[in-house]
Amino acid sequence: MKTFGFAAQSNTTPLAPFEFERRDLRANDVAMEILYCGVCHSDLHQSRNDWGFATYPLVPGHEIVGRVTAVGSDVSRYKVGDAVAVGCMVDSCLECDQCRKGREQLCRKGMTQTYADKDRITCEPTYGGYSKHLVCREEFVLKVPDGLDIAKAAPLLCAGITTYSPLRTWGVEAGNRVGVVGLGGLGHMAVKLAAAMGAEVTVLSRTKDKEADALALGATRLLVSSDPEAMMAAGSSFDLIIDTVPVKHDINPYLPLLDIDATLVLVGQLGLLDEPSTLPLLFGRRRIAASPIGGIAETQEMLDFCAAKGVLPEVEMIRMDEINHAFERMERADVRYRFVIDMATLAGA
């Protein structure tokens, strides 16, 4: 199938129109027209090869919502016209212990990423959601529940599940005390999701500037991390801290805030951190962890949870040809809180 999208041709070129082929439907494949695609920090980093494993041409996009246009002969869960979604992975081995537990994101043989990766059968490059059409095996397609606004749902597929999964992994429930560091695409979802689970949510920020936003998103308070007295008073008072900051930073101020046996989980930064001290870890048996997206069943559970609780990302809709400007704004943290591309603006090539 001929299709088109926007691609980076190298780590120094802006995204520009690109024509390419989607594979013919296999028996277990679902084809969809993409209606909306969220803009993740990973898209920016990968387009510029900041992590060193990009492949070009690179069509970013792994927060994908669309409508089914065709299904393979063995597909049973979806039919033409269904509202569906695809997140950060499009395949895994489905045979290893992790896949069998529904943790495809931790597949022993490695999951197949939605873009900048290789198809497991043909080794063709995978291209993401900044495009008109997508073909994906049925097992990695999600149902968009009735009642979830499809124009806003796209960021749930990465920002949503990336913050939902640690909340579930560390068993957050009503009354738990959750801290959120960084109030961007991921952070604002962490606040909304934790609040919807009944947790008492605190946003940690260097200044008071974001206090009104934090409260509006569902946080109980904002703790100013540059205020030593306030930080001291908050010692040992969190059950879980989700750190969504996507760049190298210092986590030492947050560690003493964890209660005994509590965890700080990193979901934003890939790579180095400033040196963490083991002192607060050792004396409070506190933990540092990190977590990538979530499994397919957990992602569906998150979508269903959001539909039931009325949780939706705050989005700013953009045209496809505004993407390079959107990347620049994202680098300045000038977005509240996630850009979503309206794919109807991707003109035919």
Omega before 130 within 30 of 0, i.e. cis: no
Query: Of 23, 111, 114, whose CA–CA distance to 70 is shortest?
Result: 23
- The answer to whether residue 70 forms part of the interface with Zn ion (CB under 5 A) is no
DSSP, residue by residue, 26-56:
PTTEEEEEEEEEE--HHHHHHHTTTTS---S
- The answer to whether residue 194 forms part of the interface with Zn ion (CB under 5 A) is no
Residue where the block lists tokens 């080794």: 123
- The answer to whether residue 113 forms part of the interface with Zn ion (CB under 5 A) is no
Residue (42 or 291) nearer to Zn ion, CB: 42
Query: Of 142, 204, 164, 179, whose CA–CA distance to 309 is shortest?
Result: 164
Beta bridge partners of 224: 205
The total of other beta-carbon atoms located within 10 Å of residue 342's CB is 15
Considering only residues 198 to 217 of the shown chain, the ones binding Zn ion according to CB under 5 A are: none
3-state DSSP: the chain helix, strand, coil percent, rounded to 5?
30, 25, 45
Residue (268 or 280) nearer to Zn ion, CB: 268
Residue 221, phi then psi, degrees to nearest 5:
-160, 165
- The answer to whether residue 40 forms part of the interface with Zn ion (CB under 5 A) is yes
Omega before 337 within 30 of 0, i.e. cis: yes
- The answer to whether residue 107 forms part of the interface with Zn ion (CB under 5 A) is yes
Residue (105 or 202) nearer to Zn ion, CB: 105
Min dist. Cβ of residue 7 to Zn ion (A): 17
Min dist. Cβ of residue 346 to Zn ion (A): 20
Min dist. Cβ of residue 124 to Zn ion (A): 20
- The answer to whether residue 273 forms part of the interface with Zn ion (CB under 5 A) is no
Residue (115 or 254) nearer to Zn ion, CB: 115
Min dist. Cβ of residue 95 to Zn ion (A): 6
Considering only residues 313 to 342 of the shown chain, the ones binding Zn ion according to CB under 5 A are: none
Rounded Cα gap, residues 155 and 273, in angstroms: 26
Residue (42 or 263) nearer to Zn ion, CB: 42
Per CB under 5 A, the list member of 7, 15, 29, 42 interacting with Zn ion is: 42
- Looking at residue 46, its amino acid is Q
Among the residue ranges 65-73, 94-102, 227-235, 297-305, the one whose residues contact Zn ion (CB under 5 A): 94-102
Considering only residues 139 to 168 of the shown chain, the ones binding Zn ion according to CB under 5 A are: 158
- The answer to whether residue 93 forms part of the interface with Zn ion (CB under 5 A) is yes
Q: What does the binding site for Zn ion look like in residue numbers (CB under 5 A)?
A: 40, 42, 92-93, 96, 99, 107, 158
